[in-house]
Chains A and B, each alone.
Chain A
Amino acid sequence: MLLSVKGLSAHYGRVQALSSVDIDAPEGSIVTLIGANGAGKSTFMMAVSGVLRSISGEIEYDGRRIDGLPSDEIVRLGLSQCPEGRRVWPGMTVLENLEMGAFQVGDATLVRDRLMRVYAHFPILEQRSAQLAGSLSGGEQQMLAIGRALMSGPRLLMLDEPSLGLAPIVVEHLVEIIREIRNSGTTIILVEQNAFMALGLADAAYVLETGRVALSGKASELLKNDMVRKSYLGV
């Protein structure tokens, strides 16, 4: 198990955002967390990446407890996140954004290698490398955000709502790329509201409801589950 979360709880002031959540991500898999707004999906991600500190429970990554570690330490261990809302630095160029992603990598040739790999996944970023990130389209900014998260060379990549606000054709393209990234050896945790896309892509899935795991299992099985079909797929 690359990531194993046990009894994770988190709260904002008095509001309980996660209560005793257990989630496992085996190496080389795509694990998805689906659920409505406010179900605790992004909170889970922020807790694992160390940005949110007021948590209890155990987070084990690669056999080692990481809860309580600062976020820069966690990135160094190979756990990278791509936060929600395709956040890029609009005033920096595409290339500068990508280079920032490799902030902790001192070795220039390694940075170059990774840049080439990101460009192989996203050829559009190479074409736009000198352009300001703020001038990219929504889909391109999302690709930049994912590319930047890949620049740290993660073993585990956490994507928060990558499909948000993107045209269906762009989402399809994104699905292909996420699959490619997994096939090149990176484990992926995918947080999504687009349950149809997420369940089609993932190996295992967890359904979050008001901070609890309501349902979990193989993604292909959840696709057939009545409750999931009714609440999240609208069929």
Chain B
Amino acid sequence: MNGRMTGAKWLAGLAGAALLCAVPRFFSLDYYLHMFVMSEIYAVLAMSLALIVGFSGQVSMGHAAFYGVGAYASALISLKSGLPFWVTIWCAGAVAGLLSFVIGKMVLRLRGHFLAITTAFFGVLVTLILNNWIELTNGPMGVPGIPRPSPISLPGLTLSFETRADYYYLGLVFVGLVAFLLYRLVNSRIGNALIAIRENEELARSIGVDAMAYKVFAFTLGGALAGMAGSFYAHYILFISPVTFTIAESINLLVMIIFGGMTTLFGPVFGAVALTLLPEFLRMAGSLRLVIYGVALVIFIIWLPLGVWGTIKSKWMERRG
């Protein structure tokens, strides 16, 4: 739509990127940096889920399963074979993508509530497997001792991954690349097909869109990206266990994209960052923290059904005519 980049937009983008790069200088506390790195991981997860739910209109309640499968794949491969993170993150994407391809092929014939429930079921199934296939996953005890990414040095910059700031920078690149990839995708012919399917699947099929193939494609790519986010998480926290990747996390991701607005790409990023940081800001409210968080979510979802960013965008488009 308004895809053309003007000079002013480039400038604003550069200024924004510079500001983001400067964040570790202003917030040097590990606690803050940890929240920012988690925001980055959630931003990738939320964008990958928005591709499935927001753009192609297929409600998935099992997205955390692909996040978890990616995390486990990456952690176990690097522990057993000694391959570096830079290789295993791609393995994580491939394994999670393959799994979501297979699951997508099975479940994407279903619509609406049926699809939501079935994806939730697959999400629970993955958690059960992670908990019970003890020889492979070490069960509920989790996988400790995951190696950090091996250091990289670029001209003028060395990232050793001994500090959280290094992860923060890597996360910025990760978010940027995923955002760029998805931006190109949703503004392409494929993106149009996905939106056409979301708006009216029969109609899309009647003009010759192979709806099933496109839905499976979105589901697979979304799952693969979630798997790569899982790999990033595993090699950042250095320990993973099944409790991180439950259905509660899938719902958390859904809330993020509903809150931010799922039919744009910035909406999910906004939702991810806001809902990662907001509960932390609310710590000053003590035991009322989660109550306030819950009430705020309900109010936002009722009053801003397009999500925060979606509402801002549609108001802005209205004013420009």
Contact surface of A with B, Cβ cutoff 8 Å = 49, 51, 70-72, 74-76, 80-81, 83, 87-92, 96, 99-101, 103-104, 148-149, 152
Least distance between A55 CB and chain B CB atoms (Å): 16
B192 at the interface (CB under 8 A from A): yes
Residue among B192, B199, B202 making CB contact with A83, cutoff 8 Å? B202
Q: How far is the CA of A71 from the CA of B202 in the complex (A)?
A: 10
Contact, CB under 8 Å: A72 / B203: no
Q: Hey, which chain A residues are within 8 Å of B202, CB to CB?
A: 51, 83, 87
B209 at the interface (CB under 8 A from A): yes
Given contacts A89-B196, A100-B196, contact A51 B207 (CB under 8 A): no
Selected A-B contacts with CB under 8 Å, 14 pairs: A51-B206, A74-B208, A75-B208, A81-B206, A83-B206, A87-B200, A89-B200, A90-B199, A92-B195, A92-B196, A96-B192, A101-B207, A103-B207, A149-B207
B210 at the interface (CB under 8 A from A): yes
Least distance between A209 CB and chain B CB atoms (Å): 26
Q: How far is the CA of A49 from the CA of B208 in the complex (A)?
A: 10
B315 at the interface (CB under 8 A from A): no
Q: Hey, which chain A residues are within 8 Å of B208, CB to CB?
A: 71-72, 74-76, 80, 103-104, 152
Contact, CB under 8 Å: A103 / B206: no
B189 at the interface (CB under 8 A from A): yes
Contact surface of B with A, Cβ cutoff 8 Å = 189, 192-193, 195-196, 199-200, 202-210
Least distance between B177 CB and chain A CB atoms (Å): 28
Q: Which of B189, B195, B199, B207 neighbours the largest number of chain A CB atoms within 10 Å of its CB? A: B207
Residue among A49, A71, A81, A89 making CB contact with B199, cutoff 8 Å? A89
Q: How far is the CA of A205 from the CA of B204 in the complex (A)?
A: 29
Least distance between B247 CB and chain A CB atoms (Å): 31
Least distance between B27 CB and chain A CB atoms (Å): 40
Q: How far is the CA of A149 from the CA of B209 in the complex (A)?
A: 13
Given contacts A83-B202, A89-B200, A90-B199, contact A148 B207 (CB under 8 A): yes
Q: How far is the CA of A49 from the CA of B204 in the complex (A)?
A: 13
Q: Hey, which chain A residues are within 8 Å of B205, CB to CB?
A: 51, 71-72
Q: Which of B195, B196, B202, B208 neighbours the largest number of chain A CB atoms within 10 Å of its CB? A: B208
Q: Hey, which chain B residues are within 8 Å of A70, CB to CB?
A: 210
Q: How far is the CA of A156 from the CA of B250 in the complex (A)?
A: 47
List the B residue with the shortest CB-CB distance to A93: B1
List the A residue with the shortest CB-CB distance to B212: A70
Contact, CB under 8 Å: A103 / B195: no
List the B residue with the shortest CB-CB distance to A160: B206
List the A residue with the shortest CB-CB distance to B209: A103
Given contacts A92-B195, A103-B189, contact A83 B209 (CB under 8 A): no
Q: Hey, which chain A residues are within 8 Å of B200, CB to CB?
A: 87, 89
Question: Which 9 pairs, one residue from A and one from B, show the smallest C-beta to C-beta distance?
Answer: A75-B208, A72-B210, A72-B208, A89-B199, A87-B203, A71-B205, A104-B208, A83-B206, A81-B206
